[in-house]
Structure formats: structure tokens, C-alpha cells
Amino acid sequence: QVGTNATGLQQGNYAFIATDAYGCADTVIASVKQPSRTILSIAKIDSITCYNFSNGRITISGNGGTLPYQFRWQGGQSGNTISNLPSGVYRVYLTDKNGCKDSLNVTLSNPPEVIARIVSGNMTMKGQNMDVAAQVTPAGNYTYQWQPASVFGSNANRQNATIQLNSNTKLLLTATNAKGCVGKDSLEIGVVQPIKDIIPNAFSPNKDGLNEGFGLPDIFEIESFYVYDRWGGIIFKGNS
């Protein structure tokens, strides 16, 4: 190139030669340097705390190129930090002063859902001890809250409890982990009267349509059964 300015140069060393009208000349060696590549990187990810929450946060940083940087996120947001995010993939673009670009995908994962389940039968007998247990996934440390408080008393914050019910009752369980993520479950418990209050002391299977027989709720398992006539003689006996 001829003239006082040289343009369109690539990286490298260039010799500039100046010659006057008398043929005298001088030479200057100049180096044209290339800036380092513009690179995006993740500075910090604040993970989503609980399943399906929208409280994630991403901070990215730029390196190389020429300051200042411009950050643009797919969706229109700008700046090197975005917050209040649900799970998903977020794409960010970096442009430096000279228009050099880089892009990056950042993934925010959804944490597993806290699922609580009451492990128990769904029937019991009035006044009889009944065991209930809390089963929670994923495994971890949880605090527990059972309701009704009138049923659980001092056992309301234990994982497992023994209770007694006098009438049909709906049990409620809340399990909470260290991050405040909550799992809930409920279970209706049916209560039957004690067996002595259910089985009659007499019946008359004489086909008159009255007091022909009787039955028991499924909660009971019959181990042995005897039927006597009015004079005390055994007319039926059976064992499970």
C-alpha cells in the first residue's frame, strides 16, 4: 500500500518505508496485534430451591475481546445477570466494542418434587392403637407436622406415631425439608365400633326375614367362630 495510512491489515509485522525527493529513506517496523477471542463463561448459578419454583439466578462473565461488553439474553433481557427464573435453557449473547461475539447456553434444572405419603391402613377400631408413618421422597432430612393436633398430641412432629381414634377422621401430613420445600398428604380413616358392640348375642336363621344373620367389617379377621343353640350345644364351629 502507498500513502500515510494502511488499512485492512491482518495480524503481523509490517515495514513502513518513507522516501524523500532526494531518495533518502527510512524504515519503521510496526506490529499489528489481534485481541484475544471474546469468550462467555458462567460466573455463578443460584439453583432453583423447590420443584417448579421460579427463583433461579444466572450470572455470566466475559473474557477477551475489547471492553466494554454488551450482554443480551434470548427473550430480550440485558445485563450479565437474570433472576426469578424457572427451570429451562437460557441462551445469552456477548458483543464487545469491536462487534466480536460469543454465545452460551445455560441450563437451570428443576429439583425433584417433595412427595409425602401416609403409610397406614384406612380402617381401625374405636379406641384401638393404630400406627401411622410418614414416607417422603427424595430421601433427606425433614420436619413433620401431623394433624389433627387433638389426635397426635406430643407425637405431632414425629415421623411415626401411634394414635387412637374414636370416630372417622381425616389425617393430614406436611413434610418440609431444609430449603422450605413442602410435601403434603391426607388420608381418611374409617372407625368401627368394638367387636363386642357389633356382633349380636343371638340370631334366628329361621327364614322369617328377621335376624337371619350378621356380618363384620373387613377390618376384622376371624380366628375362630362358634354358634351355640339356646341350650348351650355347639351347632357350628370354624377356624380361619
pLDDT averaged over 10-residue windows placed end to end, the chain, 240 residues: 81 82 85 84 97 98 94 95 97 95 97 98 91 97 97 96 96 98 97 76 79 68 80 84
What pLDDT does residue 228 have?
85
d(CA 127, CA 85): 51
Whole-angstrom Cα Rg for the chain: 40
Q: Which helix (H) or strand (E) holds 149?
A: helix 149-152
What pLDDT does residue 217 have?
64
Cell representation of residue 84: 426469578
Chain-centroid distance of CA 86 in Å reads 12
What pLDDT does residue 109 have?
97
DSSP state letter for 37: P
Distances (CA, A) of 165 to 124, 127, 170, 194, 223: 8, 6, 10, 12, 24
Q: Is 153 helix (H, G, I), strand (E, B) or coil?
A: helix
d(CA 115, CA 129): 26
d(CA 60, CA 38): 13
| pTM for this model (two decimals) | 0.71
DSSP state letter for 151: H
What pLDDT does residue 31 have?
84
**129, 139 contact by CB (below 8 A):** no
